[in-house]
A and B are shown apart, each in its own frame.
Chain A
Amino acid sequence: MRLRLGSALAALALTTTLAACGGANSTSGDEEGGQKGGTLTILTSSTSITLDPANSWNLPVTTLGLLDRRLTNWKVGKSGEAEVVPDLATDTGTPSEDGKTWTYTLKDGIEFSDGTPITAKDVKYAIERTYAPALSEGIGYHRSLLAGSEGYQGPFDGKELDSIETPDDKTIVFHLNAPYGDWPWIVSTTSTAPVPAGKAPADTFGQKPVTSGPYAVESYTAGGDLVLVRNEHWDPKTDETRTAGPDKIVVRQGQDPAVEAQKLIADAPADQKTFGADFVPPAQLAQIQAKPDAKKRLVTSGPGALEYLALNTQSPKLKDVKVRQALNYAIDRKAYIVAAGGPVSADPASTLITPGIAGREDYELYDAGESGDVAKAKSLLASAGVKDLALTLITSNDATDVAKSEAIQQAYAKVGVKVTIKPLEDDAKTTADTGDDAKAYDLSLGSWQPDYPSAAGNIQPLFDSSQIGGGGYNISRYTSAAADGLIKKALAETDKEAAGKLWAQADRTILGDAPVVPLIYTKNSFLHGSKVADFYIGSFPAYPVYPAVTLEP
């Protein structure tokens, strides 16, 4: 009886598939030729997309890069380093002699999706909004750099931030409280994208935002679909970084990464104009090796984010630098790389600054070989007088991170160090990492990709002593006057070459104290359907460039 029900359902399923396919063929039309038109689907495991730019952490090359323009943008080619280029502004900014004042001029013919022209006031208003408590969740390096911003709470009650001047509709001037050579990168962050001045309330703007990029928001359901359609008021002639190929883009949230990858490997007709925004999981990477058709559609980045094991220098067990160095020698990078998905997903790391960033020097301070130098580690532990070391390792609670942690656990077991893994939900881990309780963990598995391609973004947030606890990402809780001094000097340096040298010096100085074990540079792999074109990853960031993607008919 159940059998009959089953076959009836299968029959029903079959007829509806046919119906659905028929429908799809007639709607997804072949009217457009070349590289314009079509509906692109992006699959993602994320379950919420923040559409108010002020609260967004999006990189300029991902979803909000399709929606919002900024003063400057990243030009990420198929090869070569990422460049900062003008977007809404006519150039990447003119600094004053002392490097504390930056002036921008807006282009002509730029409009919001509601048809109103974009003025300097809109840029100022958008940046002022990021100081409101409800809107300060985004990437906000500008917040502490703009002069006189202490205690400022946003523009909603009529107060302005005087360090942003708008002498006319086209000109905008920023006054900083210290010289800052990377400012052109700062005004490319999503949170600085303009919104219509006075018409972007804190509570409702994100539900149906007015945009400045090639797309406008048609609809959004939490955990469901984000549907983007063309913004008729966007003029391609003013925009050198976005090609805006597809007519419509559907971002489908809440996907299981393994199922998502399966779907893209199968490449059924309905999924050919689709790409996955998640990294392809190790199992599917292995699966693809045997499938030349799918292998062609796999795009893998160069070495990207640094994964490292943070050694809590404030933990009594890890106070001794010899113990931390021993842990550096004992690491089994081979096992770790296998757990991370094999050589296709990771390159071994031995430095802090990530490849593709100016100033990086390659060196190896603790030669652990492929699978760890057990003898060296044991002798260091012995000379430190340490026996029966038992450490707690906190890690994100997902299969891959737990597997990586187990690889570390195994490696340290060989030198007699007992590691207890404590998997935490992501936010509980962030709270432990960045909270004030120095006793919450001994080891923490960390991963860091700078928010903009500069060595400052590699070193300062992770190792400056001002970044310990209170929300900072110095999860090794590392304090060193020498390192702090170098960081300060490098930040103020406006000459790119000289700054690079200082950062490289900081890299070595810090690693000499062994506050972390550099593990790997991750290589991210993404899959796309067979009718997706211009899908590539630049040298930085290790993510595909959404605004460049086009569809084949």
Chain B
Amino acid sequence: MAVLDPHHLQATTGAWRQLRGDRWALMGAALVAGFVLLAALAPLLTALSHTDPYTYDIEALDTAGVPTGMFGGVSGAHWLGVEPQTGRDLFAILAYGARTSLLVGLGATTVSVAVGTVVGIVAGYTGGFADVLLSRFTDLMLAFPSLIFMIALGAIVPSSFPKPLFIVLVIGAFGWPSVARVVRGLTLTLRTRDFVLAARAIGAPTSRILRAEIWPNLASSVTVLATMAVPGAITAEAALSFLGIGVTPPTPSWGRTIANAVSWIQVDPWYLLAPGAALFLLTLGFNMLGDGLRDAYDPRVSGSRG
């Protein structure tokens, strides 16, 4: 993990200016915005074609379950064709699937960044026994084979518990330790800075120091960390769905569609194309945006991609 240098708030304005000049970051932001729009407008868009991600359309299939017609059954009603074996509309699945991916990606990141930041600040600022305890706990969490535990927890959780919330919590729960590590490291260096020492010397209460001195200097790094954590959470959800333990069907999920589509690739390659490309582009968008943000806040390593 690149070491993120703490800054004062003034740095932020400069960072914004640089970010605006970073074509890659802007492209990333545009990709992300595009998918956010797609997700937000999903009901509206599918209303135009009178489709939804659930209704079967067996008429669009031949007896072997393969979509009839060109490009995987593309038609006026089915803009991206239909799913083999069910005839469900792929565009609707894609649009509603974007909701799942974004919800899980942003939700899990919020959880992991919030927990990670709190743990990191507490460990780094208080030091001593609390630090040892929290750091060891962080190591312990990193040592857990998380995928296995996600599978196990998925089987234990009662079916009345909303599955998307569960996925958000479980990916968040295994994502915070790496955030905590970085935040702790940053807090450790901040603690010995003059302005913090000065605040302490004049007897400012700890809560004020954390709020007014430490946090503003961490905020930019945490923003970068969060942006860079989103694609990881999105791919994690897709991987869980790929392994068959993601959101419950029929809630659309790109990961599940991709997992099913791969075995159809020789018969109906169009089935894989849209969800595969969507997952890749959304991940890419967040990665480019995150990179741009990091470069903007940490100018020493920036400017490579013109």
Which A residues lie at the B interface, using CB under 8 A? 258, 262, 281-287, 289, 334-335, 338-339, 341-344, 392, 397-399, 402-403, 405-407, 409-410, 420-425, 428
Contacts and interface: CB of A to CB of B under 8 A. Distances in A.
Given A258-B263, A262-B266, 17 more contacts: A283-B266, A283-B267, A286-B64, A286-B84, A334-B58, A338-B86, A341-B64, A341-B65, A341-B85, A344-B64, A397-B244, A399-B260, A402-B244, A405-B249, A406-B86, A409-B250, A422-B248
B66 interface: yes
Most buried by A among B58, B155, B268: B58
A258 B262 CA distance: 9
25 contacts: A282-B64, A282-B65, A282-B84, A282-B85, A283-B84, A283-B267, A283-B268, A286-B64, A286-B65, A287-B266, A338-B58, A339-B65, A341-B65, A398-B244, A399-B244, A406-B249, A407-B56, A409-B250, A410-B55, A410-B56, A420-B159, A421-B248, A421-B249, A422-B159, A424-B155
Contact of B248 (A334, A335, A423): A423
What interface size band does chain B fall in?
20 to 34
B272 to A, nearest CB: 11
Interface in B176-200: none
Contact of A338 (B85, B245, B249): B85
B239 interface: no
A342 B65 contact: yes
A392 B58 CA distance: 25
A44 B58 CA distance: 32
Contacts of A335: 56, 58, 86
B166 interface: no
Interface string B233-274: 000000000001100111000000001101110111000000
Which secondary structure characterizes the binding site on chain A? helix
Nearest to A290: B267
Contacts of A342: 63-65
Interface of B: 54-56, 58, 61, 63-66, 84-86, 151, 155, 159, 244-245, 248-250, 259-260, 262-264, 266-268
A214 B127 CA distance: 71
A422 B162 CA distance: 12
A221 B266 CA distance: 33
Most chain A CB inside 10 Å of its own CB: which residue of B56, B86, B248: B56
Contacts, number: 81
A32 B42 CA distance: 65
Contact of B249 (A281, A283, A289, A402): A402
B214 to A, nearest CB: 42
Nearest to B250: A406
Nearest to B248: A421
Contacts of B267: 283, 286-287
B89 to A, nearest CB: 14
Contacts of A397: 244-245
Contact of A285 (B61, B64, B159, B249): B64
B209 to A, nearest CB: 48
Contact of B264 (A283, A398, A423): A283
Contacts of A406: 86, 249-250
B83 to A, nearest CB: 9
A343 B65 CA distance: 10
Contact of A428 (B55, B84, B85, B155): B155
Nearest to A404: B85
A287 B151 CA distance: 32
Nearest to B88: A406
Contacts of B244: 397-399, 402, 423
**8 A-B pairs closest in CB distance:** A258-B263, A286-B64, A283-B263, A283-B264, A422-B159, A342-B64, A287-B267, A286-B66
B282 to A, nearest CB: 23
Nearest to B63: A342
A285 B66 CA distance: 10
Given A335-B56, A399-B244, A410-B54, A425 B64 contact: no
A423 B155 CA distance: 9
A420 B84 CA distance: 22
Contacts of A284: 263
A392 B55 CA distance: 19
A235 B250 CA distance: 56
A424 B154 CA distance: 9
A403 B86 contact: yes
A292 to B, nearest CB: 15
Nearest to B251: A421
Contacts of A420: 159, 248
A344 B55 CA distance: 24
A363 B283 CA distance: 55
A422 B251 CA distance: 12
Contacts of A398: 244
Contacts of B84: 282-283, 286
